[in-house]
Amino acid sequence: MNPIESFFKLGDKVTGKDPKKMADWNYYMMFVIFIAFLTVLISYVTNFIQTQSIRSLGWAFVMVGILWFQYYGLKTMYEQRKLFNLPIQKPNLETTEQMEELFKEETFK
């Protein structure tokens, strides 16, 4: 098997192609990435405070930009996970007789 195909099938092995497990997996991975960029931001800010290096300040601003988009991705994943946990409600369906009555009322108006 092609290494690229095996890499992309790794997610299916972890989640078993279950959408709820996939949403959880994506959320946890996004959270790990967010924490990683946050620690890099903290590192650059402390480096700037200690050395007064403009380069560290510039990279800190880059990390803030990345974290901005990561936050909204993380928020989207969180909302998706909440949707999977909502109870499923059956739709209120009409009988064929009720639909025929409504149709007759609409056509003769």
Gap between the Cα atoms of 58 and 53, Å rounded: 9
Q: List the one residue out of 71, 89, 85 whose CA is nearest residue 30.
A: 71
User: Any idea what DSSP says for residue 93?
Assistant: P
pLDDT of residue 104: 76
Judge whether 38 and 81 are in contact, CB under 8 Å: no
pLDDT of residue 1: 66
What do you get for the CA distance between the two ends of the chain, in Å? 67
pLDDT in tens, the chain (109 residues): 688 888 777 777 777 778 888 888 888 888 999 999 999 999 999 999 999 889 989 999 999 999 999 999 899 888 988 888 888 777 777 778 877 887 777 665 5
**E-state strands within 1-109:** none
